[in-house]
Homo-oligomer: A and B are copies of this chain.
Amino acid sequence: MQEKAKRPRRARRLPREVRERQILDAAVEVFSANGYHAASMDEVAEVAEVSKPMVYTYLGSKEDLFAKCIRREAKRLLDAVAEGVDTDMPPDMQLWSGLRSFFSFVGDNRSSWLVLHRQALSVGGSFAEEISQMRARSIELVAAVVVATGTRQGIGEEAEKSAEGLAAALVGAAESLAVWWLDHPDVSDGLLASWLMNLVWLGFGDLVKGEVWTPNFPAPT
């Protein structure tokens, strides 16, 4: 019987700052795996290699913790995208760069993406609100690019009015493609971005030129 009791049970003490980071990392992992409600604080603590009271002491309640996860990951994502986009570029290049950055981030940070995309929306209350607003902001940014293209080329009011809808569709397409990517990882982020650009930009372009698709119902005889 060796005196196991004497062995230091856990890693050496670390400054609060570091622990907080560890816990947040663990929380993102746990939340992304099974969702907010299914995640337990015990599990977070375990993954973070820390005891539960530390989690509460440093990060507060479960809601607090989740909010902090969301905000941190959202900021990381937005920063990553913003970094790749230069607002002096022409609109199509802005979109292209933004998409590449987005897919690249998702590829490197699956958990972050999952926690933002899947979990945050399914938690009623203030988070959903917050996330929705952030998503809305993204959509507005995209819409701005769309409108910029339009006005530059003399877009009609009609199309401008629908710009936000189109932007929402584009954002959704990107998100969906990101999810699809999880099951088809043998594709590069650049290729994904190309697909979307080809799908969507040419559509925008035609819209701008005034070409429209209209349903041609079979003429009733």
Contacts and interface: CB of A to CB of B under 8 A. Distances in A.
Interface residues of A, number: 56
Interface string A180-221: 100110010001101111111111101100011101100000
Interface stretch (A2-10, A15-23, A56-64, A115-123): A115-123
Contacts of A192: 165
Contacts of A202: 202-203, 206-207, 211, 213
A213 B191 CA distance: 12
Contacts of A130: none
A121 B121 CA distance: 11
A201 B187 CA distance: 24
A44 interface: no
Nearest to A117: B121
A204 B203 CA distance: 8
